[in-house]
Amino acid sequence: MKKIQGQVVLVTGATDGIGRLTARRLAEMGAKVLVHGRDQRKCIAIKEEIESETANSRIDTYAADLAELGQVRALAGRILAEHPRLDILINNAGIGPGPSGQARAISPDGFELRFAVNYLAPFLLTQLLLPALRASTSARIVNVSSAAQRTIDFDDVMLTKKYSPMRAYAQSKLALAMFTFDLAERLRGEPITVNCLHPGSLLDTKMVREAFGTPQGGAQSGAEAEVFLATAPRLDDVSGRYFFETREARAETQAYDQNARQTLWALSAEWVGLT
């Protein structure tokens, strides 16, 4: 394992499901864990749970609703102020397709909600946190995508015409993979790697129970896959890849289309207000 003792790790969406188990495991391994969630009371409850179960008391909490870009900026600002060095960033938070028949929803900033939470938030958060990641001698970014990936139609990214909750979820997860590949290229030559993964299929979490009913596996295996990407020594120099659990795999074709990636990056930078 990558030396984790004393490393600073941020896990977004650590208040439930796979993120909660990932945060717990990294705490067990000796990391200082920054637990993020949208509900401060849940963050505190997870901090207390992790501290009592792992005897690691170096747990901090950060509440921010990733649906809102202003809260993403505030979150990054607090983390940069309190932790000038960040060794591992796990962009795990996400919303699933929800119960069947879900109507299209928009974020407070006017973006399609799944795109905003699952993609625009990590796109912005990661870039705002780069100064802290650059302060690490070797940093890793892990983006939690999904095997559910759907080609983005650049004429209707906000899905105003052909909306379905599954399509919204799947295009947001492909966007996250595209961001991963682009960021890896931009960070080439720097000691920061960035990879993405599908943590497992229909694992037993709130998101899966809500959207699909009966799960097919435990959330623990998803956490193990996230911890693997965050810590496995054999990934020290691996960047810009997509993993199906712990095996390198191919993402949806559009992720390898450089023009599509450039278009997505330019639009995203404009939408989140990054120049």
Rounded least distance, CB 17 to ligand NAP, Å:
2
* Sign (positive or negative) of CA dihedral 267, 11, 208, 232: positive
Three-class DSSP category at 140: strand
Beta-bridge partners for 139: 192
Would you say 206 or 250 has its CB closer to ligand NAP? 206
Would you say 15 or 126 has its CB closer to ligand NAP? 15
Residue 30 Ramachandran class (φ > 0 left, ψ -120 to 50 alpha, else beta): left
Q: Which listed range, 25-33, 88-96, 133-141, 265-273, lies at the site for ligand NAP (CB under 6 A)?
A: 88-96
Would you say 71 or 263 has its CB closer to ligand NAP? 71
Q: Using CB under 6 A, count the residues that bind ligand NAP.
A: 31
Q: Which listed range, 75-83, 92-100, 180-188, 243-251, lies at the site for ligand NAP (CB under 6 A)?
A: 92-100
Dump strand ranges (E) for 102-226: 139-144, 192-198
Rounded least distance, CB 223 to ligand NAP, Å:
9
Three-class DSSP category at 75: helix
Q: Which listed range, 31-39, 47-55, 82-90, 255-263, lies at the site for ligand NAP (CB under 6 A)?
A: 31-39
- Give the pair of three-digit tokens for residue 175: 């966007």
Q: Which one of residues 54, 102, 127, 146 is an interface residue with ligand NAP (CB under 6 A)?
A: 146
Confirm whether 169 is a catalytic residue: yes
Contacts with ligand NAP, 155-194, as mask; x by CB under 6 A: ----------------------------------------
Q: Which one of residues 19, 98, 122, 165 is an interface residue with ligand NAP (CB under 6 A)?
A: 19
Contact (CB, 8 A) for 191 and 87: no
Measuring CA to CA, which residue among 87, 34, 93, 84 is closest to residue 236?
A: 87
Contact flag: residue 82 with ligand NAP (CB under 6 A): no
Measuring CA to CA, which residue among 62, 58, 56, 67 is closest to residue 81?
A: 62
